[in-house]
Amino acid sequence: MKKKIIVYERLEKPVLKSLQEKYDVKFFKNIDTQTNEEFMNHLKEAEGIIGLALEVNKTLLDNAPNLKIVSNVSVGYNNLDIEELTKRHIMATNTPDVLTDTVADTVFGILLAAARRIPELDNLVKSKQWVEALGPDYYGVDIHHKTIGIIGMGRIGQAIAQRAKFGFDMNILYHSRTRKQDAETKFDATYCSLDDLLSKSDFPVLITPLTPETRGLISKREFQLMKPSAIFINASRGKTVVEKDLIAALQTGEIAAAGLDVFEQEPVSPNNSLLEMKNVVTLPHVGSSTYETELKMSELAARNLEAGLNGEKPPTMINPKVWELLTK
């Protein structure tokens, strides 16, 4: 009899098809997992879950007695209760590395777009308002030789630093939980306190995971530390920023502009003031969303899933302690 697995929200079609050939697969999207009867019935027998953004908490796990592994199709895993999963000897995995360059490209895309006012000017041309040579009211600002401040110098942070150094000859400041000697050597990056980074950066870039420590990391106080000319970039998670304070900082001119791939509420509310601001570039959380990268993420997530189902160690475990417990 085929093992039962749940696919939630998103998995690229070739990978989904491959899993369907080997397992009893049920795909779910846009459901209330607590009330959907089909989901709950399948969950009772499921040995694996693979997908994106499913809240795997104590309540869900209480209804999943046969679960062996949860495979996230993302690098972030704030949707997983790792402590509860580990307590129950259930493996948890994610998909780091494969999306590093793609997300770094997106960061520079929104940074460039905000600095050179590309969406605003694109709209001006398409709305047929370009009727004469544009003057200073429409000028953007340079990126090259400016100072970028990277908050979170993990894999993606270092890929951003690489682009900043060798693509735009920028000065690089960074702040992270630990110093990164490699980044300092390769990219002439300078470690500093968060306050110093915010006060000195032309482009503060937030690229941390969402944890209890980073929730609301950037709020009113931090925006007040930034230069009036600063362009703030958030490609981490929406809840790392107090959004009402970001809105206020933009409205009062405490900062000049922002480039956002993430929001406190996703999809973003149509009433969100950020959507009315010409000096804010908005993307719908698509940092890793190229076909090539999404396929690689799905493939890695599937390898993780199948390894766990077959009693093997998944390539990218979040809670390796479980493997130690299972193989004692």
For the segment 85-119, what is each residue's pLDDT rounded down to a tens digit? 999 999 999 999 999 999 999 999 999 999 999 99
**Residue 212 banded pLDDT, cuts 50, 70, 90:** very high
How many percent of the chain have pLDDT more than 70?
100
Q: Which of 55, 83, 266, 324 is catalytic?
A: 266
**Residue 124 banded pLDDT, cuts 50, 70, 90:** very high
Q: Is the pLDDT of residue 188 over 90?
A: yes
Cα–Cα distance, 302 to 50 (Å, whole number): 7
**Residue 80 banded pLDDT, cuts 50, 70, 90:** very high
CB 228 within 8 A of CB 201: no
Q: Which of 117, 163, 237, 303 is catalytic?
A: 237
Tell me the CA distances in angstroms from 251 to 73, 185, 246, 258, 276, one per residue in order. Answer: 36, 39, 9, 12, 11
Burial class, 15, CB count within 10 angstroms (exposed 0-12 / middle 13-18 / buried 19+): buried
Residues 199-205: what's their mean pLDDT?
98
**Residue 1 banded pLDDT, cuts 50, 70, 90:** confident
Residues 40-63: what's their mean pLDDT?
97
**Residue 246 banded pLDDT, cuts 50, 70, 90:** very high
pLDDT at 300: 98
Asked if 24 and 87 sit in the same domain, the reply is: yes
**Residue 243 banded pLDDT, cuts 50, 70, 90:** very high
**Catalytic residue list contains 221:** no
Is 22 contained in some domain? Answer: yes
Asked if 50 and 147 sit in the same domain, the reply is: no
Is 287 contained in some domain? Answer: no
pLDDT at 260: 98
**Catalytic residue list contains 266:** yes
Asked if 213 and 143 sit in the same domain, the reply is: yes
**Residue 236 banded pLDDT, cuts 50, 70, 90:** very high
CB atoms < 10 A from the CB of 74, how many? 18
Q: Is the pLDDT of residue 120 over 90?
A: yes
Cα–Cα distance, 71 to 235 (Å, whole number): 22
pLDDT at 283: 98
Quote the tokens at residue 66: 């046969």
Residues 248-276: what's their mean pLDDT?
97
Contacts of 135 (CB under 8 A, 6+ apart): none
User: 318 pairs with which residues across the strands?
Assistant: none
Predicted structure pTM score: 0.91
Asked if 44 and 157 sit in the same domain, the reply is: no
pLDDT at 328: 81
To the nearest whole number, what is the mean pLDDT of the chain? 97
pLDDT in tens, 252-263: 999 999 999 999
Helices (H), the chain: 13-22, 37-45, 58-62, 82-87, 100-115, 118-126, 155-168, 181-187, 194-200, 220-225, 243-252, 291-309, 320-326
Helices (H), 68-128: 82-87, 100-115, 118-126
Is 37 contained in some domain? Answer: yes
Q: What is the CATH number of the domain that holds 148?
A: 3.40.50.720
**Catalytic residue list contains 285:** yes
- CA torsion sign for 187, 191, 194, 200 is negative
Asked if 26 and 120 sit in the same domain, the reply is: no
Asked if 168 and 316 sit in the same domain, the reply is: no
Asked if 270 and 316 sit in the same domain, the reply is: no
pLDDT in tens, 276-298: 999 999 999 999 999 999 999 99
Counting the structural domains of the chain, the total is 2
Asked if 108 and 204 sit in the same domain, the reply is: yes
Asked if 137 and 191 sit in the same domain, the reply is: yes
Residues 303-315: what's their mean pLDDT?
97
SS3 257: strand
Domain that holds residue 107: 100-282
Is 28 contained in some domain? Answer: yes
pLDDT in tens, 9-23: 999 999 999 999 999
Cα–Cα distance, 240 to 265 (Å, whole number): 12
Asked if 106 and 154 sit in the same domain, the reply is: yes
Asked if 223 and 247 sit in the same domain, the reply is: yes
Asked if 154 and 301 sit in the same domain, the reply is: no
Is 245 contained in some domain? Answer: yes
pLDDT at 279: 97
